[in-house]
């Protein structure tokens, strides 16, 4: 990972984020994020979108912006249920594996009834 891409998506674990998702969010491993909106815990959001899952920091988790606050776990489950397609397919690394990405970020995925 280059210095230009040194941040990790707290939703899917993608390690190619160009800026911190929130001003006070460090790198994994993370403790419990609590409930959204995450700006209450992590400060001002970047409003950037993850190239992998498409989560928009400060929008998807904020009921005042998106109409419904979505947690990282709920968003991840919905994204996977809809096929887990890359938000920016051109940024998908060759040989990419979601299970490895989640493991490296310390994100535990709860299987759904469909799996």
In tens, the pLDDT along 43-60 reads 999 999 999 999 999 999
Residue 51 structure tokens: 């190239």
Query: Is the pTM for the entire model greater than 0.85?
Result: yes
64: left (phi over 0), alpha (psi -120 to 50) or beta: alpha
Residue 80 lies in a domain: yes
Of 21, 27, 16, 20, the C-alpha closest to 93 is 16
The pLDDT tens digits of the residues spanning 57-112 come to: 999 999 988 888 999 999 999 999 999 999 999 999 999 999 999 999 999 876 65
Residue 22 in 3-state DSSP? strand
- 87 within domain boundaries: yes
Q: Please tell me the total number of residues recorded for the chain in this structure.
A: 115
Is 114 part of a structural domain of the chain?
no
In a domain, 52, yes or no: yes
User: Measured between alpha carbons, how far is 111 from 115 in angstroms, rounded to an integer?
Assistant: 6
């Amino acid at each position: 990972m280059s210095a230009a891409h040194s941040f990790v998506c707290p939703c899917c674990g993608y390690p190619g984020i160009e800026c911190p998702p929130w001003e006070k969010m460090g790198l994994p491993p993370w403790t419990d994020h609590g409930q959204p909106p995450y700006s209450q815990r992590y400060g001002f959001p970047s409003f950037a979108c993850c190239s992998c899952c498409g989560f928009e920091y400060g929008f998807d988790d904020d009921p005042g912006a998106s109409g419904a606050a979505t947690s990282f776990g709920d968003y991840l489950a919905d994204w996977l249920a809809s096929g887990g397609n890359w938000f920016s397919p051109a940024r998908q690394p060759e040989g990419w594996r979601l299970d490895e990405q989640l493991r490296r970020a310390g994100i535990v995925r709860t299987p759904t009834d469909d799996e």
